[in-house]
Amino acid sequence: MSAPVTGQGGEEPGETPAPSAPAARRDPSRRALLGAGGAGLAALAAGFAGGFGAARAQGAPPATDDGHVVPFRGARQAGIVTPAQDRLHFAAFDLTTSSRDDVVDLLRRWSLAAERMTRGLPAGELGPVGGAYDAPPDDTGEAQELRPGNLTITFGFGPSLFGGGDIGPDRFGLAARRPNALADLPHFPGDTLEAARCGGDLMVQACSDDPQIAVHAVRNLARLAFGTAQVRWSQLGYGRTSRTSSAQATPRNLFGFKDGTANLLAEDTAALDEHVWVAPGDDPAASWLAGGSYLVARRIRMTIETWDRSSLREQESVVGRTKGTGAPLSGGQEATEPDFTRTGNDGRPLIDPDSHVALAHPTANGGVRMLRRGYNYTDGSDGLGRLDAGLFFLAFVRDPVRQFVPMQNALAKNDLMSEYLRHTGSGVWAVPPGLADGADYVGQALFES
């Protein structure tokens, strides 16, 4: 965990007011600084501009370490090509309102809070201890003294937000704007999905270097949603299972294999344009999504105990790469392209055609690729003493119907790895583009253009 710098919204280190003192009397300078509405944020921004030392000198509460801040605003949402952080709190929400205005209001408040939290500020302007003594604080407080932690918060819209056709009622007048490619994923062979871990009108992916920061972010967004939306399901992840930048080392999944070797990387902008970003002409009904993407999530339980009793030969054959270096079984180094035609002394291919790598490779999928950004998860054990652990698969794609669905069908039917996997959760969300400067909330073009 990061070393404490200063509070995210509480007192400066060492400052301990009397527990019963009203907040206004405790910290007048801070309340004056924070003020109400945009003025408070502007004052804080001025504090940042003056640097960490200047902000402290003015008594400004949050000190951020800019080296650990990922900007919330930009042409794309953060948390897609951002170098994958190590911790995840993912949450899918169901809207409990039938009012379109309520949805817009929630997205406004979420966007404001998300921008603040990614800068290391409390979710609300008053912070965990700066508000009225007889009201709930506007930040829950567990991220005080923590750095921004490279927090990214990425928002998405599920098929059920739009409704229409087989998908469900058009609750918010959005059915005509639902992208063609945004529909519930089909049933795949072997799926053992739990309804309570599937779908959701809205999606929030919070990633950070620090688990407490990611959890704090989702918790505060859930608090803000009270009366408008509620968490449908959520997933914690630790240990990224992909690299999304050439500067990152390839991590390992819970099978002990390097994962993310052949992933799309932030530096390969041409490949991202081809496989990740929705282009302006992709879907005339959903021009609001241009510059965005789609996120597919699959909670995939790995039968760890069975895997751990299988031989190294079996494990490498299943994956198609070596467990040590991650090189393809056809030879070379980790970065060497697999040669699926190369045979061994017995005349059989060195990489089994039913191995995971052979079936997921672009050559077996009409050139399809995806930006994988998944996490290991361990949710304790089941009643039989087996770990409930696996991979929370997350992938950003330009078109889930053309990219994820055929690949997952092929894997579900033939992948040798399937024997060791159980898909227990699932969802797909349209991920709108990022907030331009001056824009008010994520997804504004969906509701207003």
Ligand X SMILES: C=CC1=C(C)c2cc3[nH]c(cc4nc(cc5[nH]c(cc1n2)c(C)c5CCC(=O)O)C(CCC(=O)O)=C4C)c(C)c3C=C
Tell me which of 361, 375, 428, 432 binds ligand X, using CB under 6 A: 361
Give 220 or 426: the residue with its C-beta nearer to ligand X: 426
Identify which of residues 219 and 240 has a Cβ nearer to ligand X in the complex: 240
What does the alpha-carbon distance between residue 411 and residue 417 come to, in Å, rounded to a whole number?
A: 8
What are the counts of helices (DSSP H) followed by strands (DSSP E) for the chain? 13, 9
Residue from 119, 356, 373, 398 that binds ligand X (CB under 6 A)? Answer: 356
408 makes contact with ligand X (CB under 6 A) = yes
Q: What span, in angstroms and rounded, lies between the C-alpha atoms of 139 and 251?
A: 34
Q: Nearer to ligand X by C-beta: 93 or 404? A: 404
Does the protein bind ligand X through residue 391 (CB under 6 A)?
yes
Please choose, from the candidates 71, 81, 75, 76, the residue with its C-alpha nearest in 3D space to the C-alpha of residue 395.
81
Neighbours of 16 (CB within 10 A): 7
Nearer to ligand X, 68 or 298 (CB): 298
With CB under 6 A as the contact rule, which of the stretches 43-51, 111-119, 286-294, 407-415 interacts with ligand X? 407-415
3-state secondary structure at position 437: coil
Q: What is the DSSP string of 226-269?
A: TTTEEEEEEEEEEEES---STTSPP-B-TTS-B--TT---TT-H
Q: By CB under 6 A, name the one of 9, 47, 291, 390 that touches ligand X.
A: 390
Query: Min. distance of Cβ 395 from ligand X in angstroms?
Result: 6
Site string for ligand X, 226-255 (x = CB under 6 A): ---------------------------x-x
SS3 88: strand
CA angle, corner 446, sides to 443 and 449, nearest 5? 120
Find out whether 161 and 104 touch, Cβ atoms under 8 Å.
no
User: d(Cα 427, Cα 429) in Å, to the nearest integer?
Assistant: 7
For residue 393, state whether it binds ligand X (rule: CB under 6 A).
Answer: yes
Measured from the CB atom, the residue of 123 and 357 that comes closer to ligand X is: 357
Residues 6+ apart with CB under 8 A from 243: 83, 84, 249, 250, 251, 260, 263, 265
Backbone angles phi, psi at 447, to 5 degrees: -90, -25
Contact 186, 171 (CB under 8 A): no
Q: Does 399 bind ligand X (CB under 6 A)?
A: no
- Nearest approach in angstroms of CB 55 to ligand X is 42
Site residues for ligand X, 41-70, by CB under 6 A, read none
Under the criterion CB under 6 A, does residue 319 sit at the interface with ligand X? Answer: yes
**Residue 90 binding ligand X, by CB under 6 A:** no
Segment interacting with ligand X, rule: CB under 6 A, options 14-22, 122-130, 305-313, 357-365: 357-365
Question: Does 259 engage in binding with ligand X (CB under 6 A)?
Answer: yes
Closer residue to ligand X, CB minimum distance, 330 or 408 = 408
Angle between helices 211-224 and 100-118 (to 10 degrees): 150
| Nearer to ligand X (CB atom), residue 286 or residue 411 | 411
Site string for ligand X, 267-306 (x = CB under 6 A): -------------------------------x-x-x----
> The tokens of 146 are what?
């923590």
For ligand X, the binding residues in 130-169 under the rule CB under 6 A are: none
Judged by DSSP in three states, 349 sits in: strand
**Among 225, 370, 397, 445, contact with ligand X (rule: CB under 6 A):** 370
DSSP 402: T
Rank residues 93 and 393 by Cβ distance to ligand X and give the closer one: 393
Tokens 């003025």: give the residue. 39
The residue ranges that bind ligand X (CB under 6 A) are 253, 255, 257-263, 298, 300, 302, 319, 321, 356-357, 360-362, 370, 390-391, 393, 404, 407-408, 411, 421
